[in-house]
Protein backbone atom coordinates (compact mmCIF):
# COMPACT_ATOMS: atom_id res chain seq x y z
CA UNK A 1 0.00 0.00 0.00
CA UNK A 2 1.04 3.62 -0.55
CA UNK A 3 2.05 5.60 2.52
CA UNK A 4 2.29 9.08 3.99
CA UNK A 5 3.67 10.50 7.21
CA UNK A 6 1.51 9.85 10.28
CA UNK A 7 1.61 13.47 11.52
CA UNK A 8 3.26 16.80 10.59
CA UNK A 9 7.03 17.00 11.12
CA UNK A 10 8.86 20.31 11.51
CA UNK A 11 12.45 21.13 10.59
CA UNK A 12 14.36 24.37 11.09
CA UNK A 13 17.82 25.30 9.86
CA UNK A 14 19.66 27.21 7.16
CA UNK A 15 20.03 26.68 3.44
CA UNK A 16 23.41 25.28 2.41
CA UNK A 17 23.75 27.61 -0.56
CA UNK A 18 21.63 30.63 0.42
CA UNK A 19 22.68 30.70 4.08
CA UNK A 20 19.11 31.84 4.86
CA UNK A 21 17.10 30.56 7.85
CA UNK A 22 14.24 28.32 6.79
CA UNK A 23 11.40 26.41 8.45
CA UNK A 24 9.88 23.38 6.77
CA UNK A 25 6.98 21.09 7.69
CA UNK A 26 6.33 17.67 6.17
CA UNK A 27 2.56 17.08 6.26
CA UNK A 28 0.37 14.03 5.54
CA UNK A 29 -1.10 13.80 2.04
CA UNK A 30 -3.62 11.48 0.36
CA UNK A 31 -2.90 8.57 -1.96
CA UNK A 32 -1.59 9.45 -5.45
CA UNK A 33 -0.64 12.95 -4.26
CA UNK A 34 3.08 12.31 -4.54
CA UNK A 35 5.69 14.58 -2.97
CA UNK A 36 4.79 18.25 -3.49
CA UNK A 37 6.60 21.32 -2.13
CA UNK A 38 4.63 24.46 -1.24
CA UNK A 39 6.33 27.84 -0.72
CA UNK A 40 4.42 29.41 2.18
CA UNK A 41 6.27 32.72 1.77
CA UNK A 42 4.67 33.26 -1.64
CA UNK A 43 1.15 34.63 -1.27
CA UNK A 44 0.04 35.14 -4.87
CA UNK A 45 -0.11 32.69 -7.74
CA UNK A 46 0.95 29.06 -7.86
CA UNK A 47 3.33 28.26 -5.00
CA UNK A 48 3.28 24.45 -5.35
CA UNK A 49 6.02 22.49 -7.09
CA UNK A 50 5.73 18.73 -7.68
CA UNK A 51 8.95 16.88 -6.94
CA UNK A 52 9.17 15.38 -10.42
CA UNK A 53 11.93 14.94 -13.00
CA UNK A 54 10.31 17.26 -15.55
CA UNK A 55 10.25 20.13 -13.00
CA UNK A 56 14.00 19.85 -12.34
CA UNK A 57 16.40 22.39 -13.82
CA UNK A 58 20.10 21.77 -14.28
CA UNK A 59 22.08 22.81 -11.24
CA UNK A 60 25.49 21.18 -10.65
CA UNK A 61 25.60 21.59 -6.85
CA UNK A 62 22.04 20.61 -5.87
CA UNK A 63 18.65 19.49 -7.14
CA UNK A 64 16.39 22.40 -8.05
CA UNK A 65 12.71 22.12 -8.96
CA UNK A 66 10.68 24.91 -10.57
CA UNK A 67 6.97 25.24 -11.42
CA UNK A 68 5.38 26.97 -14.41
CA UNK A 69 5.16 30.24 -12.47
CA UNK A 70 8.91 30.25 -11.86
CA UNK A 71 8.59 29.38 -8.16
CA UNK A 72 11.45 27.13 -7.05
CA UNK A 73 12.85 25.08 -4.19
CA UNK A 74 16.46 23.89 -4.19
CA UNK A 75 18.61 21.31 -2.41
CA UNK A 76 15.74 18.85 -2.12
CA UNK A 77 17.88 15.73 -2.68
CA UNK A 78 18.50 14.79 0.97
CA UNK A 79 14.88 14.96 2.09
CA UNK A 80 13.80 13.20 -1.12
CA UNK A 81 16.28 10.41 -0.37
CA UNK A 82 14.82 10.18 3.14
CA UNK A 83 11.30 9.83 1.72
CA UNK A 84 12.43 7.09 -0.66
CA UNK A 85 14.53 5.33 1.96
CA UNK A 86 11.70 5.39 4.51
CA UNK A 87 9.04 4.37 1.98
CA UNK A 88 7.04 7.62 2.05
CA UNK A 89 5.15 8.02 -1.22
CA UNK A 90 2.96 11.04 -0.45
CA UNK A 91 3.65 14.27 1.46
CA UNK A 92 3.02 18.01 1.29
CA UNK A 93 6.22 19.82 2.19
CA UNK A 94 5.50 23.37 3.36
CA UNK A 95 8.57 25.59 3.29
CA UNK A 96 9.00 29.31 3.96
CA UNK A 97 12.00 29.90 1.73
CA UNK A 98 13.76 28.85 -1.47
CA UNK A 99 15.98 26.09 -0.07
CA UNK A 100 15.53 23.00 2.09
CA UNK A 101 17.48 23.24 5.40
CA UNK A 102 20.81 21.43 5.20
CA UNK A 103 20.78 20.30 8.88
CA UNK A 104 23.92 18.16 9.34
CA UNK A 105 24.53 17.69 5.60
CA UNK A 106 23.09 14.18 5.48
CA UNK A 107 19.62 12.63 5.36
CA UNK A 108 19.78 11.20 8.89
CA UNK A 109 17.90 14.06 10.65
CA UNK A 110 15.05 13.71 8.14
CA UNK A 111 15.01 9.92 8.52
CA UNK A 112 15.02 10.11 12.32
CA UNK A 113 12.02 12.44 12.51
CA UNK A 114 10.06 10.62 9.79
CA UNK A 115 10.47 7.33 11.61
CA UNK A 116 9.63 8.91 14.99
CA UNK A 117 6.41 10.37 13.57
CA UNK A 118 5.51 7.09 11.91
CA UNK A 119 4.36 6.15 8.42
CA UNK A 120 0.65 5.64 7.71
CA UNK A 121 -0.63 3.17 5.12
CA UNK A 122 -3.14 4.40 2.56
CA UNK A 123 -5.77 2.42 0.67
CA UNK A 124 -4.08 2.54 -2.74
CA UNK A 125 -1.54 0.20 -4.33
CA UNK A 126 2.09 1.18 -4.87
CA UNK A 127 2.97 1.65 -8.51
CA UNK A 128 6.56 1.13 -9.60
CA UNK A 129 8.55 1.98 -12.71
CA UNK A 130 10.15 -1.19 -14.04
CA UNK A 131 13.16 -0.65 -16.30
CA UNK A 132 12.84 -2.93 -19.35
CA UNK A 133 15.90 -1.97 -21.38
CA UNK A 134 19.18 -0.22 -20.65
CA UNK A 135 19.40 3.57 -21.02
CA UNK A 136 22.60 5.55 -20.63
CA UNK A 137 23.71 9.19 -20.71
CA UNK A 138 27.16 10.79 -20.88
CA UNK A 139 28.81 14.15 -20.28
CA UNK A 140 32.45 15.16 -20.43
CA UNK A 141 32.67 14.50 -16.69
CA UNK A 142 31.03 11.09 -16.36
CA UNK A 143 28.11 8.83 -17.17
CA UNK A 144 25.04 7.18 -15.66
CA UNK A 145 23.07 4.09 -16.63
CA UNK A 146 19.81 2.36 -15.75
CA UNK A 147 19.40 -1.33 -16.58
CA UNK A 148 16.72 -3.92 -15.76
CA UNK A 149 16.74 -5.38 -12.26
CA UNK A 150 14.51 -7.17 -9.76
CA UNK A 151 14.71 -4.37 -7.18
CA UNK A 152 16.71 -1.16 -6.89
CA UNK A 153 20.44 -1.83 -6.87
CA UNK A 154 23.22 0.69 -7.28
CA UNK A 155 26.89 0.88 -8.24
CA UNK A 156 28.72 4.18 -7.87
CA UNK A 157 32.28 5.23 -8.70
CA UNK A 158 34.03 8.51 -7.87
CA UNK A 159 37.54 9.79 -8.52
CA UNK A 160 38.93 12.94 -6.86
CA UNK A 161 42.49 14.26 -6.83
CA UNK A 162 42.40 14.86 -3.07
CA UNK A 163 43.86 11.81 -1.32
CA UNK A 164 41.31 12.12 1.49
CA UNK A 165 38.71 11.04 -1.10
CA UNK A 166 40.59 9.53 -4.05
CA UNK A 167 38.95 6.69 -5.96
CA UNK A 168 35.97 5.06 -4.25
CA UNK A 169 33.44 2.50 -5.46
CA UNK A 170 30.47 0.94 -3.73
CA UNK A 171 27.68 -1.49 -4.64
CA UNK A 172 24.43 -1.86 -2.70
CA UNK A 173 21.07 -3.55 -2.94
CA UNK A 174 18.78 -0.90 -1.48
CA UNK A 175 16.10 -3.31 -0.19
CA UNK A 176 15.37 -4.13 3.46
CA UNK A 177 16.39 -0.83 5.05
CA UNK A 178 19.83 -0.64 3.45
CA UNK A 179 19.47 3.12 2.96
CA UNK A 180 18.90 3.71 6.67
CA UNK A 181 21.79 1.47 7.73
CA UNK A 182 24.38 2.29 5.09
CA UNK A 183 23.74 5.69 3.51
CA UNK A 184 21.49 8.07 5.42
CA UNK A 185 24.18 9.51 7.73
CA UNK A 186 26.74 10.27 5.00
CA UNK A 187 27.30 14.02 4.61
CA UNK A 188 27.83 16.29 1.67
CA UNK A 189 31.49 17.03 1.02
CA UNK A 190 33.68 19.54 -0.76
CA UNK A 191 37.32 20.42 -1.28
CA UNK A 192 38.75 23.37 0.61
CA UNK A 193 40.05 24.75 -2.70
CA UNK A 194 36.47 24.97 -4.00
CA UNK A 195 34.94 26.77 -1.03
CA UNK A 196 36.03 30.31 -1.92
CA UNK A 197 35.09 29.83 -5.56
CA UNK A 198 31.61 28.63 -4.59
CA UNK A 199 31.08 31.54 -2.22
CA UNK A 200 32.28 34.02 -4.83
CA UNK A 201 29.58 32.57 -7.09
CA UNK A 202 26.95 33.01 -4.37
CA UNK A 203 26.90 29.32 -3.42
CA UNK A 204 27.64 27.44 -0.18
CA UNK A 205 26.90 30.59 1.85
CA UNK A 206 25.49 28.43 4.65
CA UNK A 207 28.20 25.79 4.50
CA UNK A 208 30.09 25.13 7.74
CA UNK A 209 32.16 22.37 9.30
CA UNK A 210 28.93 21.30 11.04
CA UNK A 211 27.08 20.47 7.81
CA UNK A 212 29.76 19.35 5.36
CA UNK A 213 32.91 17.29 5.16
CA UNK A 214 35.72 19.56 3.96
CA UNK A 215 38.94 17.98 2.68
CA UNK A 216 42.30 19.42 1.67
CA UNK A 217 44.69 17.03 0.00
CA UNK A 218 45.01 14.05 2.33
CA UNK A 219 43.51 15.89 5.31
CA UNK A 220 39.90 15.92 6.52
CA UNK A 221 39.41 19.39 8.00
CA UNK A 222 35.98 18.78 9.52
CA UNK A 223 36.27 18.13 13.28
CA UNK A 224 35.60 14.51 14.15
CA UNK A 225 36.69 13.30 10.73
CA UNK A 226 34.71 10.91 8.58
CA UNK A 227 31.68 8.88 9.64
CA UNK A 228 32.71 6.19 7.14
CA UNK A 229 36.02 5.66 5.37
CA UNK A 230 34.08 5.85 2.09
CA UNK A 231 31.62 8.54 3.22
CA UNK A 232 32.02 10.47 -0.04
CA UNK A 233 30.79 7.72 -2.35
CA UNK A 234 28.04 6.84 0.13
CA UNK A 235 26.83 10.44 -0.02
CA UNK A 236 26.85 10.33 -3.81
CA UNK A 237 24.62 7.25 -3.62
CA UNK A 238 22.34 9.07 -1.17
CA UNK A 239 22.05 11.95 -3.65
CA UNK A 240 21.36 9.53 -6.50
CA UNK A 241 18.50 7.88 -4.61
CA UNK A 242 16.97 11.28 -3.91
CA UNK A 243 17.34 12.32 -7.55
CA UNK A 244 15.93 9.01 -8.84
CA UNK A 245 12.87 9.49 -6.63
CA UNK A 246 11.88 12.39 -8.91
CA UNK A 247 10.70 9.64 -11.26
CA UNK A 248 7.45 9.89 -9.28
CA UNK A 249 7.43 6.23 -8.22
CA UNK A 250 9.97 3.69 -6.99
CA UNK A 251 12.27 2.37 -9.72
CA UNK A 252 12.96 -1.31 -10.30
CA UNK A 253 16.33 -1.44 -11.96
CA UNK A 254 20.08 -1.23 -11.60
CA UNK A 255 21.59 2.27 -11.45
CA UNK A 256 25.27 2.80 -12.15
CA UNK A 257 26.99 6.16 -11.91
CA UNK A 258 30.58 7.00 -12.83
CA UNK A 259 31.52 10.48 -11.58
CA UNK A 260 27.82 11.27 -11.87
CA UNK A 261 25.89 14.07 -10.15
CA UNK A 262 22.48 15.69 -10.05
CA UNK A 263 22.48 16.76 -13.70
CA UNK A 264 23.44 13.33 -15.04
CA UNK A 265 20.83 11.52 -12.96
CA UNK A 266 18.11 13.89 -14.17
CA UNK A 267 19.34 13.46 -17.75
CA UNK A 268 19.05 9.71 -17.21
CA UNK A 269 15.42 9.97 -16.08
CA UNK A 270 14.62 12.14 -19.10
CA UNK A 271 16.20 9.54 -21.37
CA UNK A 272 14.24 6.74 -19.68
CA UNK A 273 10.90 8.50 -20.10
CA UNK A 274 11.76 9.40 -23.69
CA UNK A 275 12.13 5.66 -24.41
CA UNK A 276 8.54 4.29 -24.41
CA UNK A 277 9.60 0.65 -24.66
CA UNK A 278 12.31 1.15 -22.03
CA UNK A 279 10.00 0.92 -19.02
CA UNK A 280 6.55 0.03 -17.80
CA UNK A 281 4.44 1.04 -14.81
CA UNK A 282 3.09 -1.83 -12.75
CA UNK A 283 1.39 -2.36 -9.40
CA UNK A 284 3.26 -4.00 -6.56
CA UNK A 285 2.26 -7.28 -5.03
CA UNK A 286 3.37 -8.05 -1.47
CA UNK A 287 6.61 -9.76 -2.51
CA UNK A 288 7.66 -6.90 -4.77
CA UNK A 289 6.77 -4.23 -2.20
CA UNK A 290 9.04 -6.01 0.27
CA UNK A 291 12.01 -5.34 -2.03
CA UNK A 292 11.54 -1.56 -2.22
CA UNK A 293 14.02 0.72 -0.39
CA UNK A 294 11.51 1.73 2.30
CA UNK A 295 10.54 -1.80 3.27
CA UNK A 296 11.85 -3.17 6.55
CA UNK A 297 13.25 0.09 7.91
CA UNK A 298 13.92 0.27 11.63
CA UNK A 299 14.81 3.38 13.64
CA UNK A 300 17.31 1.41 15.71
CA UNK A 301 19.41 0.95 12.58
CA UNK A 302 20.14 4.66 12.06
CA UNK A 303 23.90 4.90 12.65
CA UNK A 304 24.59 6.24 16.12
CA UNK A 305 27.21 8.67 14.81
CA UNK A 306 24.58 10.75 12.95
Residue 281, Cβ density class (10 Å: 0-12 exposed, 13-18 middle, ≥19 buried): exposed
Which has the closest alpha carbon to 86: 8, 180, 172?
180
pLDDT at 218 over 60: yes
Most confident residue range from 77-86, 204-213, 294-303: 77-86
Which residues have a catalytic role annotated? 262
DSSP string, 41-87: T--SS--EEE--GGGEE--TTS-EEE-TTS-EEE--HHHHHHHHHHT
Residues making up the chain, counted from first to last = 306
Instruction: Give the pLDDT of residue 70.
Output: 97
Report the C-alpha dihedral over residues 202, 205, 209, 215, rounded to 10 degrees. 0
Rounded to the nearest integer, the mean pLDDT of the chain is 94
Confidence of residue 152 (pLDDT cuts 50, 70, 90): very high
pLDDT at 306 over 60: no
Instruction: Give the pLDDT of residue 169.
Output: 98
Enumerate domains of the chain plus CATH numbers: 3-121 (3.30.230.20), 127-301 (3.30.1700.10)
Whether this model's pTM surpasses 0.85 = yes
Instruction: Give the pLDDT of residue 181.
Output: 94
Instruction: Give the pLDDT of residue 305.
Output: 55
- For the segment 219-227, the average pLDDT, to the nearest whole number, is 94
Confidence of residue 205 (pLDDT cuts 50, 70, 90): confident
- 47-99 tens-digit pLDDT: 999 999 999 998 878 999 999 999 999 999 999 999 999 999 999 999 999 99
Decide the pairing of beta strands 35-39 and 9-14. Answer: unpaired
Percent of the chain at pLDDT exceeding 70: 98
pLDDT at 167 over 80: yes
Percent of the chain at pLDDT exceeding 90: 81
For residue 85, give every residue at least 6 positions away whose Cβ sits within 8 Å of its Cβ, in sequence order, or none. Answer: 107, 111, 174, 179, 180, 183, 184, 241, 293, 294, 297
Which has the closest alpha carbon to 163: 191, 143, 142?
191
Q: Which helix (H) or strand (E) holds 121?
A: strand 119-121
pLDDT at 296 over 90: no
Amino acid sequence: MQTTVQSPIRFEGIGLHTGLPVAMSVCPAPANHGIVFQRTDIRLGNARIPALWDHAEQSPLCTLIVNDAGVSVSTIEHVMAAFAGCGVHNALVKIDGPEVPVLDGSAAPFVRKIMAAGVARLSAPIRVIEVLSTVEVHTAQGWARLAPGAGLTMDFHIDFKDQAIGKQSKSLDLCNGTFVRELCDSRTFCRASDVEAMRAAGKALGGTMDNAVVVDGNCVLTPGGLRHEDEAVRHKMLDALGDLSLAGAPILGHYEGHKAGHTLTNMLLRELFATPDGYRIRECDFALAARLPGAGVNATEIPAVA
